[in-house]
A and B are shown apart, each in its own frame.
Chain A
Amino acid sequence: MKTLIWKEWRETRMIPAAFCLLFLAINLFLITIQYLADHMHGARVTPPGGIYTVDSVKLTGVACSLLAAVVCGGSIVSSEASKGTMSFLTSLPVPKKSLWLVKAGIGFAGASAALLGILLLGLALIWVNFGWSAIAIAHQDPLAFLVMLTVLMLSAFTAVYAVSYAVSCLNNQTFASIVFAILACFAISGAGFGMILLLDGVTTQKLSEFNNHLITLHEFDYYLALYATLHNPESMIVATSFALLTLTVIALHISNVSFGATEEPRRRYLIPLRIVGKWTAVYASLGAALYGLYMVILFHVQPALMRQ
């Protein structure tokens, strides 16, 4: 196991360093542009407040971290297949599960190292350019909310890595794997946002109908829990974090099943369809059961308790 970990780290270690350098380069570029704009004569070329702000540091940091997660996850298995060394690895007397685990773990360690490096560089850049007070001004929310936001971002980071790792196990080419991973992350995010917008539209419509006395309170109660979740930031963060962690588990399951698969990539893509179908059925059943339980509690148990 030690030698496997050593080998994976030797192959992965340059990626976090590269993304830390990329983050630094982008910020130095923005600083340079800002400096030149501030010292030019004539019309101002940057918006009021400048282009290099605490928010720009945060934005570039998030983007570089997520890209590091995609590259670490999207390349770690597909690079073996593209170089032809997967057969050498699988011919060793090592269980496939151990190989999968080491690759998943070291890839995530690399992505996490990139995240940590970018975080430290970002803090250093903010301190140098804006001072610590700029962070306090930018974050005036309660500590609990900030913690929940951090959990959400880490869940997103982990989900992005897991999806990229799953795509890497399905592909034989490194570059294609990274591109597909980025597309998959965008597609899943788009689907997620679309779902939220759809649900929000439905619940808002029902609220409007209730306000216009077109439906009764009893009928609106069916949508109340959903409406409350969608319009409460804390609830949305918890629900989204849960959804992202579920996505992580599904993606890791897909990667576990398809790791070292020798079928053509075309046939390998049937694997995620099968697994997603299975998980959808499980979650749909669970969701329906929980919703039914909620309705029973709301319309039968609660009134009975109140009558007593």
Chain B
Amino acid sequence: MHRQSLSLSHPIDLSKGDAGLLSPAIASAPDALRIQGLAKSFGKTSVLKDLDLDVPRGSVYALLGRNGAGKSTLIQLMLGILQPTAGQIRMLGLDPARDGVELRQRVGYIPERLPMYDWMTVEETLRFVSPHYRNWSREDETRLVTTFRLDRTKKVRELSRGNIALLALVIAMAHDPELVLLDECTSGMDAIARSEFDRTVIDALHGSNRTVFFASHQIHEIERLCDWVGILHNGRLLLQAPVETLKSSVKMLRVTGMDKDENALAQSPNVLKAQTSGREWLITVQDYDEMTPPVKFFGGVVKEAIDLTLEEIFVALVAKEEARI
């Protein structure tokens, strides 16, 4: 199976040769989302720059990035709410700028701030949105409302943040969407509410062939949900890869007896981060899987290769990019 090297300057593209990571049926299906050369500016401020991104159908894709990286802007471009400055977006084969209305019929969207009409009750909110979706299912709506234990007679302003998010999930799911977009919808929730919401989302989406696209900076939470990850930084896609590929490629090496200094290590394209505690170095490297297996590293002896969490990988990659700039 061909693996491309992770490269910060050139995001990984999933070629059909990497289809072994997905089921053959999904791998052969056209991408749920394909973005080429996307750019978006607001006046003189450039928010997204030359973005290329592919989301395979049926995958759970997590777009990671710091606050202000451009995640929400990207999602609004994907839905046709904003128009791109340059580039092309194809979502479910449709152009959001031209077919935004049709696209929003087939996509479920849960935004960050969950702005609903607080004077409406849960029932009124659902009656307000449902006629606009041709595939709205009252059975699915009833099942979801019952599962989430939402009180239909309560006004939106009386609901907790978590319940509002669940109501948004009902709206997003009840019309049987092919793609679900979640844009930092757990922000503002406490840890328990976030955990419960994530579990609810997994249960609601489990077993469906839907494509799910998360945009979040809560990396430790979505790590267990996603099978693809993209890292957005300063409007550019640093990297996109299957999560397992990323985790097998980026490791922390515990190295002893090395005589290099930090500057020399920083020059190496494979080294993302290096820190020393006297005799030992802890060096975060990329392309570890191509080191076959590394015993020596810069004259030192590799004692251990430590698996990293997605959050640690994200921090290391972003730090390397910021140092490069």
Q: Which residues of A pack against B, CB within 8 Å?
A: 2-3, 6-7, 10-11, 83-88, 90-95, 262-264, 267
Contacts and interface: CB of A to CB of B under 8 A. Distances in A.
A67 B84 CA distance: 39
Contacts of A92: 104, 129, 132
Contact of B102 (A2, A10, A93): A93
A262 B116 CA distance: 18
Contacts of A267: 43
Given A90-B81, A91-B79, A3 B131 contact: yes
B101 interface: yes
B104 A262 contact: no
A151 B37 CA distance: 55
Contacts of B113: 84, 87
Contact of A93 (B82, B105, B127): B105
Contacts of A87: 81, 111, 113, 115
Nearest to B175: A93
B79 A7 contact: no
A97 to B, nearest CB: 10
A264 B81 CA distance: 15
Given A11-B119, A90-B81, A92-B129, 14 more contacts: A3-B127, A3-B129, A3-B131, A3-B132, A83-B115, A84-B115, A85-B116, A87-B111, A88-B111, A91-B111, A92-B132, A93-B133, A262-B76, A264-B42
Interface string B73-89: 00010010110000000
B127 A88 contact: no
Contacts of B127: 3
Given A88-B115, A91-B109, A93-B133, A262 B82 contact: yes
A256 B103 CA distance: 22
A92 B119 CA distance: 19
Interface SS of chain B: mixed
B117 interface: yes
Nearest to B118: A83
Interface residues of B, number: 24
Nearest to B83: A262
A168 to B, nearest CB: 18
A287 B102 CA distance: 44
Given A87-B81, A262-B81, A267-B43, A94 B115 contact: no
A93 B81 contact: no
Contacts of B82: 262
A94 to B, nearest CB: 6
Contacts of A263: 42-43
Nearest to B102: A93
Contact of A7 (B43, B101, B117): B117
Contacts of B133: 93
Contacts of A11: 119
A7 B128 contact: yes
A220 B263 CA distance: 89
B141 to A, nearest CB: 15
Contacts of A88: 111, 115-117
Contacts of A95: 101
Nearest to A95: B101
Contacts of B105: 93
Contacts of B101: 93-95
